[in-house]
Amino acid sequence: MDTDFIDIGTVEDVPVRGSRLVKTPDATIAIFKTMEGQIFAIEDKCPHLSGPLSQGIVHGNRVTCPLHNLVIDLANGQADGPGGGPNGKCVKTFPIEIMDGRILLKPFDVPSEKVA
């Protein structure tokens, strides 16, 4: 296993169609669980005016921002609509692995990947 992955809790800990937070020194990360039980990790910060996405309504693989209803794809962090939301910015997503019902998260930037 990649040593950068950190065990943050169990799949059960996250409510279905809901989310929980993981605080890190760089960012607050929202861990989402969809209706189908899929887990996603994405920065808790809307590209529009930084709304806490964790507080939104989850539907399908998407979440609607609680502040002004931007819809964000949990898988790639992209906003709905032409150009992918405000100025084409998207939300940062984080790698996740599930092992024996536990969620492993890679919360920190791997410098070489951080190009743009």
Partner 1 sequence: MPQRQKLVIVGNGMAPGRMLEELLKRSPRAYDITIFNAEPRVNYDRIMLSPVLSAEKTFEDIIIHDDDWYAANDITLHKGKRVARIDRDAKVVEAEDGTAASYDRLVLATGSSPFIIPVPGHDLPGVLAYRDLDDVDAMVEAAEHGGKAVVIGGGLLGLEAAAGLQMRGMDVTVIHLMPTLMERQLDTAAGHLLRQAVEARGIKVLTEANTQSITEKDGKVAGVQIEDGRLLPADIVVMAVGIKPSSGIAKDAGLTVGRGISVDDTLCTSDPAVSAVGECVEHRGMCYGLVAPLYEMAKTLAANLAGEEASYTGSVTSTKLKVTGINLFSAGDFADAEGREEIVLRDASNGVYRRLVLEDNRIVGAVLYGDVADGAWFFDLIKRSTDISEMRDTVIFGQGFAGGTPLDPTAAVAALPDDGEICGCNGICKGTIVEAIGELGLKDVEGVRMHTKASASCGSCTGLVEQLLTLSLGDDYDPAGVPPMCGCTDLGHGDVRRLIVAKNLKTIPDVMQELEWTSSCGCAKCRPALNYYLLATWPGEYTDDNQSRFINERVHANIQKDGTYSVVPRMWGGITSADELRAIADVTDKFNVPTVKVTGGQRIDLLGIQKEDLPAVWADLNAAGLVSGHAYGKALRTVKTCVGTDWCRFGTQDSTGFGIRIEKFMWGSWTPAKVKMAVSGCPRNCSEATCKDVGVICVDSGYEIHFAGAAGLEIKGTVVLGHASTEDEALEIIVAVTQLYREQAYYLERIHKWAARVGVDTVREQIMDDVERRKALFERFCYSQKFSQIDPWAERVQGDQAHEFMPLADLTRMQAAE
Task: Report the DSSP pairing between strands 102-105 and 6-10.
Answer: antiparallel
Beta bridge partners of residue 33, listed in sequence order: 18, 39
Supply the minimum distance, in Å, between the C-beta of residue 73 and ligand FES.
Answer: 14
Q: CA-CA distance, 27 to 45, in Å (whole number)?
A: 9
Contact 72, 63 (CB under 8 A): yes
Instruction: Tell which one of 1, 2, 82, 116 touches partner 1 (CB under 8 A).
Output: 82
Window 33-52: residues binding partner 1 (CB under 8 A): 34-35, 48-52
- Tell me which residues touch partner 1 (CB under 8 A): 6-9, 13-18, 20-25, 31, 34-35, 48-52, 55-60, 64, 66-69, 71, 81-83, 86-87, 107
